[in-house]
């Protein structure tokens, strides 16, 4: 059995991560309510009780309120920090009076962003900092300087990226002494291809991921942890009734429901277990503050271990209209 790349680096053994994008309330400048703090606290408790010790943030989530809500929970119970691996992301800037929406991997912005993240989370360091999507204007030497300064100061222990391809990772690492430990990508049962089907990959939007270019194998060889954002595909296979489904998605949903019933588990565990069954030891980031959904995801580790090759391919084929190349 393979071991998670992060576990090989003694960073975490949590097979799932909790995405904190929904914490803090609405995406506006309104104050965080006591109700939102309580919801955050309950989500954290549910995650830890389910064996999830890794928490994923970004400085933009609910305009910083997600990190602030999380930090207020930690302030009320500081001992929780020792049970957690906390990562956050920076590099996306929304439109403001100085410019349009943009990416910013400048040294100044990275350093300033980390200071803000630490203040909101009320922690003295991040376990992992990710660069949030590629920046076409990235100067790798400048990023390397920021990484070195953050590492030397003890503010960040490890570094990673999101939505980057193999060449972008190699380009960045060529100028830095820091080896990247994470690449976070949009991955789910209906957004993942392992063979070349002419799928065009949009790295900025994350609309499709095609690993025929060797990204998966490269990350595995370099011990870069592949994390999956939106791994439940907005819940289309696990109970979201608000979305209109294609014929393939409808049949896949039915198969997920049957497998969950046969195995006496949840639909979330089947969908996540499918991703985790891959030898890359993909780490899904479940983006929810719903306690029940966090609990429902808890059996995914076991399902990934018992899922047969035939069951994995049955789900893969169903999601593609029962056609494999």
Cβ atoms within 10 Å of 51's Cβ, excluding its own? 12
- The total number of residues shown for the chain amounts to 325
Q: Which residue has the tokens 């370099």?
A: 222
Contact 223, 238 (CB under 8 A): no
Contact 297, 269 (CB under 8 A): yes
Contact 170, 132 (CB under 8 A): no
Instruction: State how far the Cα of 122 lies from the Cα of 262, in Å rounded to an integer.
Output: 45
Q: Which residue has the tokens 């929304």?
A: 94
CA nearest to 135, candidates 186, 173, 182, 101:
101
Known active-site residue 61:
yes
Residue 7 zone, left/alpha/beta (φ > 0; ψ -120 to 50; rest): alpha
Cβ atoms within 10 Å of 177's Cβ, excluding its own? 9
Q: Which of 61, 175, 313, 316 is catalytic?
A: 61
Instruction: State how far the Cα of 262 lies from the Cα of 166, in Å rounded to an integer.
Output: 39
Rounded to a whole number of angstroms, the CA Rg of the chain reads 19
Contact 17, 283 (CB under 8 A): yes
Contact 136, 190 (CB under 8 A): no
Contact 139, 171 (CB under 8 A): no
Phi, psi values for residue 286, rounded to 5°:
-85, 115
Active-site residues, by number, are 61
């Amino acid at each position: 059995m393979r071991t998670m790349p992060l576990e090989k680096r003694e960073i975490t053994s949590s097979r799932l991560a909790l995405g904190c994008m929904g914490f803090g309330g609405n995406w506006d400048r309104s104050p965080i309510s006591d109700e939102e703090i309580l919801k955050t606290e309950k989500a954290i408790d549910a995650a830890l009780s389910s064996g999830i010790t890794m928490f994923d943030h970004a400085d933009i989530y609910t305009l910083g309120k997600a990190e602030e809500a999380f930090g207020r929970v930690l302030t009320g119970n500081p001992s929780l920090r020792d049970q957690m691996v906390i990562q956050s992301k920076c590099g996306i800037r929304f439109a403001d009076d100085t410019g349009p929406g943009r990416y910013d991997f400048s040294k100044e912005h990275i350093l300033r962003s980390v200071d803000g993240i630490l203040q909101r989370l009320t922690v003295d360091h991040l376990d992992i900092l990710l660069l949030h999507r590629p920046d076409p204007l990235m100067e790798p030497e400048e990023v390397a300087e920021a990484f070195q300064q953050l590492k030397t100061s003890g503010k960040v222990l490890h570094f990673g990226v999101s939505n980057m391809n193999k060449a972008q990772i190699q380009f960045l690492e060529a100028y830095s002494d820091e080896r990247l430990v994470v690449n976070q990508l949009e991955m789910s049962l209906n957004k993942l291809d392992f063979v070349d089907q002419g799928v065009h990959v949009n790295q900025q939007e994350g609309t499709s991921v095609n690993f025929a270019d060797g990204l998966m194998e490269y990350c595995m060889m370099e011990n870069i942890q592949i994390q999956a954002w939106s791994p439940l595909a907005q819940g289309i296979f696990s109970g979201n009734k608000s979305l209109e489904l294609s014929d393939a998605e409808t049949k896949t949903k039915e198969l997920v429901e049957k497998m969950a019933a046969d195995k006496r588990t949840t639909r979330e565990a089947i969908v996540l277990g499918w991703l985790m069954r891959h030898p890359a030891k993909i780490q899904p980031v479940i983006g929810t503050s719903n306690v029940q959904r966090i609990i429902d995801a808890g059996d995914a580790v076991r399902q990934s271990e018992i899922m047969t090759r035939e069951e994995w391919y049955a789900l893969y084929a169903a999601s593609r209209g029962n056609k494999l190349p």
